[in-house]
Structure 1
Amino acid sequence: MRISQPLPARRLGRHGPLVPRLGLGLMGASGVYGSPASDEKRFKFLDQAYERGERFWDTADKYGDSEDLLGQWFAINPEKRQDIILATKFGIKTSAGVPGFSVDSTPGYCRQAIEKSLVRLGLPFIDIYYVHRLDKVTPIEKTMEAMVELKKAGRIKHIGLSECSAESLRRAHAVHPVTCVQVEYSLFCKDIESPQTQLLDVARELGVGIVAYSPLGNGLLGGVIRSREDVTKPGDSRGALPWLGDENVHQNLTIIDKISQFAKSMNLTPAQLALAWLLTQGDDIFPIPGTSNINRLEENLGTFSVSLTQDDERELRQASEGIVGGRFQARTGYDFANTPTLDS
């Protein structure tokens, strides 16, 4: 058994818990990028992640059997629950065998969803509960009121939002402090920084932490995807990414090659360089790279030994310009979502 030293950690926003600077995204462990591994292999991976000090775990009710799997793992390892900051989410509704999804951030569905998640997880509370997407129909104040009720009842400890607009964040925070916002952020996707969204600026003004999902560009910045064929096997949802469209993949791979050469010159992997770049954007940024492979996890954790200069950061930022295709979330219509006001 290999037990590492505690990972570098910081407080998640002004009101949140102390968490490792790199979290663990568990979406891919449940078959989003292909068929899931056996329960035995996935339990072993969770064991190994825990042993290496990775204690900030992120899942959602939408992620296949992820909550069920975690519930079984916690049942086997009840003494380890206290060491883990566990986040899950509600709001995206899917049906088996039915393509597409719907979004529901109503108070009623919030209350239903938390109870189902707690049953699957076999836990009395969740550390961080996110509104996975805003339905653009329910005023954010109403959703927040339900979340505050759950917090007062001891069902959740911290409130998070995902893919919200700066305005929605500000209105939510006026009801109750929001601990963190989860949003896509990477060398490939810097929309959070833009003057149009203003989300990063407002989050920092309010003291809200930023949890960066897809920090490796859905695996593109890992350096192993070289063509569309690498992501078109059955069950791999990445084939739908605009970045990997037939008309875009060649140009984007050219940019990845530049980043890979930069990484090689520093004796790093492309993933380590991409994560290091993200960590340099501020102490309030917490990437959650997803993996179910222990070698990849160890590679990601090696990022903590990387130190980038301001010149490195600027050169990487310039090298990543020119990505074409846009982000998948923009096509869903629920990116940086606004909600109606209470009096509308």
Structure 2
Amino acid sequence: MSGTERITTARLGTNGPEVGIQGLGAMGMSEFYGDTDEAAARDTLDAALEAGVTLIDTADVYGRGANEEFLAPFVAAHRDEITLATKFSIIRTDDPHYRGVRNDPAYIKSAVENSLRRLGVDVIDLYYMHRRDPAVPFAESVGAMAELVHEGKIKHLGLSEVTGPELREAHAVHPIAALQSEWSLFSRDVERSAVGAAAELGVAVVPYSPLGRGFLTGAFADAAKDLQEDDFRRSQPRFSGDNARRNAALLEPVHTIAAAHGVTAAQVALAWVHHRSAVHGLTVVPIPGTRRRSRLLENTAATWITLTEAELALLEPIAARVAGDRYPDMSLTSAARES
């Protein structure tokens, strides 16, 4: 891919926005992955727009609002060129390990006002429920989100980490444009029921962590040894110790395929995610996160890679062999609610 080529586009949902076929996750620009570099991050945002990456993804929980505030100047400068996505529902406190969830209508109405203020916008293009609290009736939560559409505060609804039955239930209340869940060579539990429901309903899937939080790229081999103390990947079971060693061995076919194509392991991993669109018959727009222009361009170049059937067959067994869960506590994921 040359520096002047732009990625192709796809529509989120039946009547959702047209976006670049690959988006950008902004979470790491504020925290979670060690030291941040604001200048490099802003340069990466510029590179994204130049490459046709128009879906910019954040959440109110990233930096406890700081990530939304960080994005505000970029959003103001390019409001008509980007599709802005943010999320609500995860609650944090001064305890760095605490994660709560709120989906009640009163909280949703308060959360959207705070996000609008921090982002400096009058309307949010795509507003996700970040995690579901099963104690709150889904119709109440989605109904409150739908009211925000009628009020002109958000344009489209999204859900994250929900099951297929939950997606159908929500879609019956108000059309859902996008389902955001972890989906990669290492993480395929979204395929249990949610992907099939999304294909049936015309909902796009927006995979987060399509590069296995950097593990699939070879950026680190053992989180406990290679990453800074405040890097949250150190707490994820599959990235340290025996699990990390076992999982690194699973990457051999990824490197073999990368060498055959003259590309990187990251590009093979992203090409596999993009190919899920053809496999499952739905729109797939992954949002790999990065803070560097070079990585952004490497990621977008993956949209032009075509894997052979033989190569796809080599990659197929990987997820089933991964050691360790995605999170130390899986209770907030869709996998925890699958029957």
Structure-1-length-normalised TM-score = 0.91
1:2-34, Cα deviation, whole Å (9 max, x unpaired): 973332111112221111111100111112101
Q: Given residue 31 of structure 2, which amino acid in structure 1 is its aligned partner? A: G
Match of 1:109?
A: 107
Rounded to whole Å, the distance in 1 between the matches of 2:115 and 2:226 is 30
Aligned residues: 330
Match of 2:91?
A: 93
Q: Given residue 306 of structure 2, which amino acid in structure 1 is its aligned partner? A: S
Rounded to whole Å, the distance in 2 between the matches of 1:9 and 1:33 is 29
Give how far 1:90 is off. Answer: 0.0
1:99-143, Cα deviation, whole Å (9 max, x unpaired): 311000111110000000000000000100000001111111001
Match of 1:73?
A: 74
Contact 1:4–1:53 (8 Å) recurs in 2 = no
Distance change (3 Å), C-alpha of 1:321 and 1:332: closer
Identity of aligned residues (%): 37
1:295 matches 2:288: no
Structure 1 counterpart of 2:210, from 206, 215, 237: 215
Rounded to whole Å, the distance in 1 between the matches of 2:109 and 2:97 is 25
Match of 1:187?
A: 185
Contact 2:125–2:155 (8 Å) recurs in 1 = yes
Give how far 1:230 is off. Answer: 5.2
Give how far 1:308 is off. Answer: 1.4
Give how far 1:270 is off. Answer: 0.4
1:206-246, Cα deviation, whole Å (9 max, x unpaired): 11110000100111111221223455313210011111132
Rounded to whole Å, the distance in 2 between the matches of 1:4 and 1:222 is 25
Match of 1:342?
A: none
Contact 1:12–1:19 (8 Å) recurs in 2 = yes
Structure 1 consecutive aligned stretches of length 4 or more whose deviation exceeds 6 Å: none
Give how far 1:284 is off. Answer: 1.2
Q: Given residue 118 of structure 1, which amino acid in structure 2 is its aligned partner? A: L
* 3-state secondary structure, aligned to 1:280: helix
Q: Given residue 25 of structure 2, which amino acid in structure 1 is its aligned partner? A: G
Match of 2:120?
A: 122
Q: Given residue 92 of structure 1, which amino acid in structure 2 is its aligned partner? A: I
Cα RMSD of the aligned pairs, angstroms, is 1.9
Rounded to whole Å, the distance in 2 between the matches of 1:318 and 1:251 is 14
Moved more, 317-326 or 251-260: 317-326
Moved more, 89-98 or 316-325: 316-325
Rounded to whole Å, the distance in 1 between the matches of 2:238 and 2:268 is 20
Structure 2 counterpart of 1:205, from 195, 200, 216: 200
Match of 1:135?
A: 133
Aligned ranges 1:1-344 → 2 under 5 Å: 4-38=4-38, 40-64=39-63, 65-75=66-76, 77=77, 80-194=78-192, 198-229=193-224, 231-282=226-277, 283-319=282-318, 321-328=320-327, 331-336=329-334
Contact 1:55–1:84 (8 Å) recurs in 2 = yes
* 3-state secondary structure, aligned to 1:332: coil
Distance change (3 Å), C-alpha of 1:308 and 1:98: closer
Structure-2-length-normalised TM-score = 0.92
Name structure 1 gaps, 5 residues minimum.
340-344
Distance change (3 Å), C-alpha of 1:268 and 1:320: farther
1:129-178, Cα deviation, whole Å (9 max, x unpaired): 00000111111100111111100111000000000121211111111111
Give how far 1:338 is off. Answer: 8.8
Moved more, 91-100 or 51-60: 91-100
* 3-state secondary structure, aligned to 1:311: helix
Contact 2:257–2:311 (8 Å) recurs in 1 = no
1:319-342, Cα deviation, whole Å (9 max, x unpaired): 55411112217x230111799xxx
Rounded to whole Å, the distance in 2 between the matches of 1:235 and 1:206 is 40
Give how far 1:297 is off. Answer: 0.5
Q: Given residue 129 of structure 2, which amino acid in structure 1 is its aligned partner? A: V
Rounded to whole Å, the distance in 1 between the matches of 2:114 and 2:177 is 23
Q: Given residue 70 of structure 2, which amino acid in structure 1 is its aligned partner? A: L
Contact 1:136–1:337 (8 Å) recurs in 2 = no
* 3-state secondary structure, aligned to 2:219: coil
Give how far 1:316 is off. Answer: 1.5
* 3-state secondary structure, aligned to 1:100: coil
Rounded to whole Å, the distance in 1 between the matches of 2:226 and 2:129 is 29
